[in-house]
Amino acid sequence: MSVPTVSIMDDDPSARRGLTRLVKAAGMHVKSYASARDFLDSGNYDGPGCIVLDVRMPDMTGPELQAELVEVEYSMPIIFLSAHADVEITAEAMKKGAVDFLTKPVDRDDLLEAIYASLAKDAENRAHRAKIATIREQIKALTPREYEVMIYVITGMLNRQIAAELGISEETVKIHRGRVMKKLEVESVAELVRLCENAGIPPT
């Protein structure tokens, strides 16, 4: 598994070097970039790790980079740094999922605390995504009829109602239902409903 990386972006070389030294001294793996564009071109935005991002940079600002990363399948949590306490920018950044917004000159302990929180969030997010991927693979293993029965089950329909809806026997519904529960490794309808919700399949 890849080592979590703290990606630092700041167009000020001295600030970038100082941040890099600070994070390295705390025992973390660091990569630094002079611009948001350099970071995007590197392709290193899907982690594992987190991003320490200056708000005001030429060519592409921190919030503009955040807006681009929102569109990709997954990107690392972001910590914003700014020399200006801009309430509107802060509110928008946090609304889009930023972990923290720190004012320059940044306090060492505040920054490290935010980085640790971001790395923990990233690990949690990745574990959740891995779980969802496993669920979706399990669901893909269902036959078309099993999937169809599953959809009816999570709406709360009884076996006889499903049988009437599909034009098959109640016994056949029971067989398909049992196979669904076994393949998806659940023991109750409530578990099945939660599993489908996690996979993005609502009862319809």
Per-residue pLDDT reduced to its tens digit, 16-47? 999 999 999 999 999 999 999 999 999 888 88
**What CATH number labels 141-198?**
1.10.10.10
Nearest to 49 by CA among 98, 2, 6: 6
Q: Is residue 163 over pLDDT 90?
A: yes
Per-residue pLDDT reduced to its tens digit, 53-84? 999 888 898 989 998 888 887 889 999 998 87
At residue 182, the pLDDT reads 96
The 8-class DSSP code of residue 6 comes to E
Angle ∠(190,191,195) on CA atoms, nearest 5: 120
Give domain limits for the chain.
5-126, 141-198
Question: DSSP letter string over 123-180?
Answer: HHHHHHHHHHHHHHHHHHTS-HHHHHHHHHHHTT--HHHHHHHHTS-HHHHHHHHHHH
Per-residue pLDDT reduced to its tens digit, 117-138? 999 999 999 999 999 999 999 9
Q: What is the mean pLDDT of residues 182-194?
A: 95
**What CATH number labels 5-126?**
3.40.50.2300
Q: Do domains 5-126 and 141-198 have the same CATH topology?
A: no
